[in-house]
Amino acid sequence: MLQKIQEATDFLINKLNNEVPDFAIVCGSGLAKLKDQVEAIEVISYKDIPNFPKTTVPGHTGKLIYGTLEGKKVLLMSGRFHYYEGYSMQEVTFHLRVFHSIGIKNLIVSNASGGVRKDMHVGDVMIITDHINFFPEHPLRGANLDNFGPRFVDMSVPYDKEYISIFKEVAKENDVNVREGVYFGLQGPTFETPSEYGMVRAMGADAVGMSTVPEVIVARHQGMRVAALSVITDLGGPEIANPVSHEEVLNAANVAMPKVIKLVRGLVKNA
Ligand code: HPA
- Is it the case that residue 58 has pLDDT exceeding 90? no
For residue 254, the 8-state DSSP code is H
pLDDT (mean) for 23-31: 87
Helix residue ranges per DSSP H, 128-175? 161-173
Ligand 1 binding pocket, CB closer than 6 Å: 112-114, 188, 191-192, 208-210, 233-234, 236, 244, 249
pLDDT (mean) for 64-88: 94
Taking only the tens place, the pLDDT of each residue in 132-176 is 999 999 999 999 999 999 999 999 999 999 999 999 999 999 999
Taking only the tens place, the pLDDT of each residue in 195-232 is 999 999 999 999 999 999 999 999 999 999 999 999 99
Query: Which residue has the CA at smallest separation from atom 7 of ligand 1?
Result: 114
Contact 260, 231 (CB under 8 A): yes
Q: Which of 244, 251, 254 to mutate to test the pocket of ligand 1 (most atoms within 8 A of CB)?
A: 244
Q: What is the CATH number of domain 2-270?
A: 3.40.50.1580
Q: Count of alpha carbons within 13 Å of 237, Cβ hemisphere only?
A: 15
Taking only the tens place, the pLDDT of each residue in 247-264 is 888 888 889 999 999 999
ω into 158 cis (within 30 of 0): no
Domain regions of the chain by residue span: 2-270
What is the whole-number distance in angstroms between the Cα of residue 191 and the centre of ligand 1?
6
What is the whole-number distance in angstroms between the Cα of residue 45 and the centre of ligand 1?
27
